[in-house]
Structure 1
Amino acid sequence: MRTRVLIVEGNPVFRGGLKSLLGSAGLRVVGTAADATAAAPSIMRELPDLVLLGSDDPDADVEAELDRILAARADQQVLLLVGRHSRASAAQLLLRPGVRGRLPREVTDDHLVSVIREIGHNDEWIFVSAPQASLPSLLTSERTVLSPREREIVRLMARSMTNRQIARTLQLSDGTVKRHVHNIVAKLGAASRQDAVHRSALTLPPDSSP
């Protein structure tokens, strides 16, 4: 059975190239979209085997895009295709549920196709391609470093907001917020939700403290 792929990519030329490449390789492209918000209806309708999430903007909030994809379908599998100057925390993203790998946008056509095919046949492996010099930063995760989205959430936690209230404020699903809160507590080594708020005041930069 052919792997069914949905492409999320902001660059229309690159998006079209990906669609043509995957189609000619025998993969089934079930849809394309410029961003995760636009892709959400197709994700819920088509239930793709894999979402190929591309980003070439160094300042793009890749984690927020992931949140929107997983809000549309909690068990969706995602392959990241990002630029070499992306500021997204590689290690943290690779630990996110559903993320199956991270490839550079400069990856060869054959390698991209082979990884997508392998993901379709293997439920356990994470696929990473990166220059050797970038491996230390790619594979090292500072547990106390909160992502931009997690910093947003911990600030709202400090206001005694419930998960549901946070979800409404940030326009996320309750499940997505619950997952973020769990990650925040784990990263900070906190004993409770309130303890995480106290610890975050010591961990975050002064201008980001809740």
Structure 2
Amino acid sequence: MTNDITILICEDQTLMRHGLCTILELEPGMKVIGETADGEEAVASYQALRARNMTPDIVLMDVEMPRMNGVQATTALIASHPQAHIIILTTFDYEDYVFDAIKAGAMGYLLKDVPASDLMATIRKVHAGEPFIQPRLANKLLIEFGRKGRGLSTRPQSSRTFPEEDLSTRETEILKLLAEGASNRKIAEQLGLAEGTVKNHVSNILSKLQTENRTQAAYLARERKLF
């Protein structure tokens, strides 16, 4: 169908990328015309498709990708192709990510845990020229605008005070395994600890790092190159 909404998927996780492709291909009126695994590929693929008169109607852009992240890729695409309709689809809901993505020119921002029906609805809205930010993220965007105005930021970053010296040797070991994606049970088995003990250590780690969950703690640890 010539009036299908054409989509370019930019996602570095193979399983997630293929899953999105499958879901979108099953949706009437939508067609995936390209898949990329990093930001540089995203920009190159968009330009190549455009050269073939196959400019994607929608670009689904992950934030955390190798070589060039989603915000950088969005900035590059909008700079050369202002008409590009980009939806950020990511695991992270840090205020800075939302702010930076919208500032870069993204027309939509969704977390990856949204139902498929919400993703389809957002694609249709953005395709129609209507910007959309997931409601739970809208307040975060307003908060970040306020923080930016006062020179503040809430996303974990290298300049943030990081109490790494407060982590015990055992907590550092657990944080490393946590960052590798190990469950509490797996960590307990590997370190010869009770699962309840690991759970307590994880709670202490989150508290010391001032993070809300395991994903944020792992991200911060990797960003600070603790291992």
- Compute the TM-score of the two structures, normalised by the length of structure 2: 0.54
Question: Would the aligned equivalents of 2:38 and 2:69 in 1 still touch at CA under 8 Å?
Answer: no
Note the C-alpha offset of 1:73: 2.8
- Greater length-normalized contact order (CA 8 Å, ≥ 6 residues apart): 1
Note the C-alpha offset of 1:82: 1.4
> 1:70 — aligned with what?
78
Note the C-alpha offset of 1:128: 1.2
CA distance in 2, matches of 1:84, 1:41: 25
Question: Would the aligned equivalents of 2:71 and 2:104 in 1 still touch at CA under 8 Å?
Answer: no
Question: Would the aligned equivalents of 1:81 and 1:105 in 2 still touch at CA under 8 Å?
Answer: yes
Note the C-alpha offset of 1:55: 3.4
Q: Does 1:37 align with 2:45?
A: no
Note the C-alpha offset of 1:74: 3.5
CA distance in 2, matches of 1:53, 1:88: 16
One-letter identity of the residue aligned with 1:82: T
Question: Would the aligned equivalents of 1:36 and 1:68 in 2 still touch at CA under 8 Å?
Answer: no
How many residue pairs get aligned? The number is 140
Question: Would the aligned equivalents of 2:43 and 2:73 in 1 still touch at CA under 8 Å?
Answer: no
Name the % identity: 21
Question: Would the aligned equivalents of 2:63 and 2:69 in 1 still touch at CA under 8 Å?
Answer: no
Distance 1:69 1:36, change over 3 A: farther
Q: Does 1:49 align with 2:57?
A: yes
Structure 1 alignment gaps of length 5 or more: 148-210
Distance 1:25 1:36, change over 3 A: same
Q: How does 1:23-172 map to 2 (within 5 A)?
A: 23-26=25-28, 27-44=30-47, 45=49, 46-55=54-63, 61-71=69-79, 73-86=81-94, 88-97=96-105, 99-120=106-127, 122-123=128-129, 125-131=130-136, 135-140=138-143, 141=145, 142-143=148-149, 145=151
RMSD over aligned Cα atoms? 2.7
Structure 2 alignment gaps of length 5 or more: 154-227
CA distance in 2, matches of 1:128, 1:71: 21
Question: Would the aligned equivalents of 1:5 and 1:50 in 2 still touch at CA under 8 Å?
Answer: yes
Distance 1:22 1:66, change over 3 A: same
1:138-162 Cα offsets, whole Å, 9 max, x none, are 2231246599xxxxxxxxxxxxxxx
Note the C-alpha offset of 1:85: 4.7
| SS of aligned partner of 2:104 | coil
- Compute the TM-score of the two structures, normalised by the length of structure 1: 0.58
> 1:19 — aligned with what?
21
Question: Would the aligned equivalents of 1:83 and 1:104 in 2 still touch at CA under 8 Å?
Answer: yes
One-letter identity of the residue aligned with 2:59: V
CA distance in 2, matches of 1:88, 1:62: 13
Distance 1:136 1:74, change over 3 A: closer
Note the C-alpha offset of 1:70: 2.9
Distance 1:25 1:42, change over 3 A: same
Q: Which has more radius of gyration?
A: 2
Question: Would the aligned equivalents of 1:56 and 1:86 in 2 still touch at CA under 8 Å?
Answer: no
CA distance in 1, matches of 2:79, 2:99: 21
Note the C-alpha offset of 1:14: 0.1
